[in-house]
Structure 1
Amino acid sequence: MKFHSILLWSLCLTLLLGIYSCSNDDDGQDLSAVPEEQSEIPEPEGNSPDPQPVEDENLMGTVEYLNPDLVDDNYILVNDAESNRAYIMDKDSRLLHEWELTNNIGNDVFLLPDGRVLASLESDDPKIKIGGKGGQLQFIGPDNTVEWKFLYSSELAETHHDAELLPNGNVIALVWEKRTAQEALEGGSMVSTDIYPEAIIEIDPNTDEIVWEWHSWEHLIQDYDDSKSNFGVVGDHPELIDLNYVPKNEDWPELSGDIMHANAIAYDPVKDLIFISVNFFSEVWVIDHSTTPEEASSHSGGAYGKGGDLVYRFGNPKTYHNTAGTRLFYNNHFPNLLQGADQGKLLIFSNGVGFNQSTVYELQLPDELELIPYADNEPEVLWSFTDEKLYSGKVSGAVPLQNGNILITEGDYGFWEVTREKEVVWKFNASGFFWRGYSYDREAPEIQALEL
Structure 2
Amino acid sequence: MRTVFCILILLGFLILPSCAKEEAPILPEEEVVVEDPGIEEPADPMEEPPVYMGEIQTLNANLVYDGLILVNDAGNNRAFLMDKEAKLVHEWPLSNKLGNDAFLEADGRLLASLETDDPKITLGGQGGILQFIAADGSIEWNFNYSSEAAETHHDAELLPNGNVLAMVWERRTQEVAANAGSNSQVDIFPEAIIEVDPNTDEIVWEWHAWDHIIQDYDITKDNFGDVAANPQLIDLNYVTIANGDIMHANGLAYDAVKDVIYLSVNFFHEVWVIDHSTSTEEASGSEGGNYGKGGDLLYRFGNPQAYKNTAGERLFRNNHFPNLLQDDHLGNMLIFTNGAELEQSTVYELQLPDVFSLEPNTDNEPEVVWSFTDPDLYAPKVSGAVLLPNGNRMIAEGDYGIWEVTEAGEVVWKFSAPGFFWRAYHYDNDAPEIMALGL
Q: Which sections of structure 1, spanning at least 5 residues, go unmatched?
A: 1-54
Q: Does 1:63 align with 2:50?
A: no
**Paired residue type of 1:109:** A
Aligned match of 2:89: 96
2:291 aligned counterpart, secondary structure = coil
C-alpha distance in structure 2 between counterparts of 1:395 and 1:256, whole Å: 19
Distance in 2, matches of 1:191 and 1:62, equals 45
- 2:246 aligns with 259
Which structure 2 segments of 5+ residues have no match? 1-47
2:326 and 2:308 map into 1 onto residues whose CA distance is: 32
Compute the TM-score of the two structures, normalised by the length of structure 2.
0.88
Matched AA of 1:309: D
Aligned counterpart, 2:7: none
Matched-pair contact (CA < 8 Å) for 2:179–2:222: no
Counterpart for residue 46 of structure 1: none
The one-letter code of the counterpart of 2:227 is V
Instruction: Return closer, same or farther for 1:421/1:167 CA change in 2, 3 Å cut-off.
Output: same
Which residue pairs with 2:148 in the alignment?
155
Paired with 1:447 and 1:179, the residues of 2 have a C-alpha distance of 43
Residue in structure 1 matched with residue 102 of structure 2 by the alignment: 109
- 1:426 matches 2:419: no
Residue 57 of structure 1: how far off its partner (Å): 5.7
Structure 1 match to 2:138: 145
| Residues in 2 aligned to 1:329 and 1:419: alpha-carbon distance in whole angstroms | 22
Identify which of 280, 294, 310 aligns with 1:293.
280
List per-residue Cα deviations over 1:81-113 (Å, max 9, x = no partner).
001100000000000000000000111000000
The residue type equivalent to 1:297 in the other structure is S
Q: Deviations over 1:307-366 (max 9, x none)?
A: 000000000000011011100001100000011232210000000000111000000001
Displacement of 1:56: 6.2
Residue type at the aligned position of 1:265: L
Q: Determine the structure 1 residue equivalent to 2:218.
A: 225
Deviations 1:254-281 (CA, angstroms, capped at 9, x unpaired) = x520000000010001100000000000
Task: Tell me which amino acid in the other structure corresponds to 1:89.
Answer: M
Alignment partner of 1:215 out of 180, 195, 208: 208
* Counterpart Cα distance in 2 of 1:155 and 1:261: 17
- Choose 360-369 or 338-347, whichever is displaced more: 338-347
Supply the AA of the counterpart residue of 2:113.
S
Q: CA deviation at 1:451?
A: 2.1
Identity of aligned residues (%): 67
Structure 2 residue 165 is matched with structure 1 residue 172: yes
Match of 1:197 in 2: 190
How far apart in 2 are the matches of 1:57 and 1:102? 25
- Deviation per residue, 1:137-191 (Å, 9 max, x gap): 0000111110000000011100000000000000010000000000000100012
2:382 to 395, 418, 440: 395
- Equivalent of 2:403 in 390, 398, 416: 416
TM-score, L = length of structure 1: 0.86
Match of residue 320 from structure 1: 307
Partners of 1:172 and 1:191 in 2: CA distance: 29
Instruction: Kindly provide the CA deviation profile for residues 289-309 of structure 1, in whole angstroms up to 9, marking residues without a partner as x.
Output: 000010000011101111000
Q: Which amino acid aligns with 1:175?
A: V
Summarize deviations over 1:393-443 as a string: whole Å, max 9, x none. 000000001111000000000000000000000000000000000000111
Q: Deviations over 1:12-32 (max 9, x none)?
A: xxxxxxxxxxxxxxxxxxxxx
Correspondences of 1:273-284 after superposition (within 5 Å): 273-284=260-271
The equivalences for 1:246-395 within 5 A come to 246-247=239-240, 252=241, 256-395=243-382
| Alpha-carbon separation, structure 2, partners of 1:264 and 1:406 | 19
Post-superposition CA distance 1:40-75 (Å, at most 9, x none): xxxxxxxxxxxxxxx966100000000000000111
426, 440, 443: which is aligned to 2:427?
440
Structure with bigger gyration radius: 2
1-structure distance, mates of 2:101, 2:137: 16
User: Aligned partners of 1:239, 1:233: CA distance in 2, in Å?
Assistant: 11
